[in-house]
Amino acid sequence: MPRRTMVEAIRDAMDVMMARDDRVVVFGEDVGYFGGVFRCTEGLQRKYGPTRCFDTPISESGIVGVAVGMAAYGLRPVAEIQFADYMYPGYDQIVSEAARLRYRSAGEFTAPIVVRMPCGGGIFGGQTHSQSPEALFTHVCGLKTVIPSNPYDAKGLLIAAIEEDDPVIFLEPKRIYNGPFDGHHDRPVVPWSRHPLSETPDGYYTVPLGQAALRREGSAVTVLAYGTMVHVAEAAAAETGVDAEIIDLRTLVPLDVDAIERSVRKTGRCVILHEATRTSGFGAELSAQVQERCFYHLEAPIARVTGWDTPYPHAQEWDYFPGPDRVARALQSVLEGG
């Protein structure tokens, strides 16, 4: 089976859908001729022409706003925000418009848009190229929020997102665009080609939204993670020898609560990971869900390992990033507890 990087898988998903469905249009800052600053749309303008894939003015409110208008007309816009950190001018269009159009018009108008955006740190991008704003989307009713951790899922989830009839926020952890990253920043970069999940079938396939994936089966503790942190969790489990069950959530809303409940009932322990800041992060929602559904099965308090509650710093990037050592400590302390 062909192997793809995350970037190639994402590009292929758009390519497949642009070929299958002429309502699919792709646009954003630098996505046309140049193919995007991370190369996710490279070649699409050449292949499908400048009215199917084009550069936009530097205006995130404009990008999301026109996407909503196009979607209401009947197109399937896939908009790119150059960095998730720059989505804020478009946030009003996402929250007040895209997310609620179906509800407020009783289904007369809908906004089936996909808004793709690279997120997360690990590239010394400082506070404006490193953020993980997923919780700002999961808190909004009417949005679906997706965050893949590998090329196979990225392609299948993006195709599913484009086919989805509601607006989807598609977060792409940029640190794993070109290779899996387990948080050991001082080790040589590993390419995707050596990872089994870089095998992505050609052509059309989907990974349905709302389904988590089991990355590692285990009995001692459940680890809930998504995006880059899935790889960090795998490294921490391997290094500590803790028999962790690692669940890659893949879609945050709608959440696969069955997968979570099944696992925590089995292990009786739960560690939640995300790179985003802690307070009111998505981990708080996960923790509440686990408590509500599995309280009588828990043998230790739920633990969260997250970014600190500060803007993403530049020089202190690796002090900030919740790497494998912090995850390992949490795994061990949750095992000792109870």
Partner 1 sequence: MTTEWQSLSLHVPGPPVRPGDRPDFSQMQIPRAGEVRRPPVDVAASDIHDLAYSVVRVLNRQGEAVGPWVPALDVDALKLGLRAMMKTRAFDVRMMMAQRQGKTSFYMQCTGEEAIACGFQTALGTGDMNFPTYRQQGLLIAQDWPLVDLMNQIFSNQADRLRGRQLPVLYSAREAGFFSVSGNLGTQYVQAVGWAMASAIRGDTRVAAGWIGEGSTAESDFHSALVFASVYRPPVILNVVNNQWAISSNQAVAGGESATFAARAHGYGIPSLRADGNDYLAVRAVADWAVERARRNLGPTLIEWVTYRVGPHSSSDDPSRYRPKEESDAWPLGDPIERLKKHLIVLGAWSEERHTQLQAEIEDEVLAAAREAERHGTLHDGPRPSAADMFRGVYKDMPRHLREQRQEMGV
Ligand X SMILES: Cc1ncc(C[n+]2csc(CCOP(=O)(O)OP(=O)(O)O)c2C)c(N)n1
Binding site for partner 1 (CB under 8 A): 29-30, 32-34, 37, 50-51, 54-62, 85-86, 88-89, 124-129, 278-279, 308-311, 313-316, 319-320
Nearest to 273 by CA among 147, 155, 160, 152: 147
Phi-psi region of 255 (alpha: psi -120 to 50; beta: other; left: phi over 0): beta
Q: Does 19 contact ligand X by CB under 6 A?
A: no
Residue 293 phi, psi (nearest 5): -95, -25
Q: Which of 129, 195, 231, 274 is labelled catalytic?
A: 129
Of 272, 257, 158, 161, which Cα lies nearest the Cα of 211? 257
Q: Could you tell which of partner 1, ligand X, none binds residue 243, using a CB distance below 5 to 8 A set by kind? A: none
- DSSP class of residue 195? S
- 189 secondary structure, DSSP code: P
E-strand stretches of 37-176: 53-55, 76-80, 114-119, 144-146, 168-173
Contact (CB, 8 A) for 38 and 7:
yes
Would you call the peptide bond into 254 cis, given omega within 30 degrees of 0 as the criterion? Answer: yes
- Among partner 1, ligand X, none, what binds residue 33 when CB lies within 5 to 8 Å by partner kind? partner 1
Which residues in 62-85 are b (16+ Cβ under 10 Å) and which e? ebbbbbbbbbbeebbbbbbbbbbb
Q: Which two tokens stand for residue 193?
A: 């080609």
Q: Is 297 designated active site?
A: no
Query: Is residue 58 close enough to count as binding ligand X by CB under 6 A?
Result: yes
Those residues with Cβ within 8 angstroms of residue 292's Cβ, 6 or more apart along the chain or in another chain: none
- Please, are residues 236 and 331 in contact by the beta-carbon 8 Å criterion? yes
CB of 50 to partner 1, least distance (A): 4
- Contact flag: residue 86 with ligand X (CB under 6 A): yes
Residues 26-55 within binding reach of ligand X (CB under 6 A): 29
Which residue's Cβ has the minimum distance to ligand X? 86
Min dist CB 29 to partner 1, Å, is 7
Residue 141 sits in the site that holds ligand X (CB under 6 A): no
For ligand X, the closer of residues 28 and 179 by Cβ is 28
Among 56, 82, 150, 251, contact with ligand X (rule: CB under 6 A)? 82
Residue with tokens 């292929």: 12
* Residue 313 contacts which entry, ligand X, partner 1, none (Cβ below 5-8 A, type-dependent): partner 1
**Least separation in angstroms between CB 216 and partner 1:** 26
CB of 282 to ligand X, least distance (A): 24
Q: 311 contacts which partner out of partner 1, ligand X, none, CB within 5 to 8 A by kind?
A: partner 1
Which of residues 82 and 287 has its CB atom nearest to ligand X in the complex? 82
Q: How far is the CB of 56 from partner 1 (least distance, A)?
A: 7
Stretch that binds ligand X, among 81-89, 93-101, 227-235, 316-324 (CB under 6 A): 81-89
- Cβ at position 130, least distance to ligand X in Å: 13
- Among the listed residues 302, 304, 278, 299, the one whose alpha carbon sits nearest the alpha carbon of residue 291: 302
For partner 1, give the closer residue by CB, 105 or 316: 316
* Number of separate helices (H) and strands (E) present in the chain: 12, 12
Residues 227-286 that bind ligand X (CB under 6 A): none
> Binds 57, which of partner 1, ligand X, none (CB < 5 to 8 A, cut-off by type)?
partner 1
Active site residues: 129
**Which positions touch ligand X (CB under 6 A)?**
29, 58, 60, 82, 86, 89
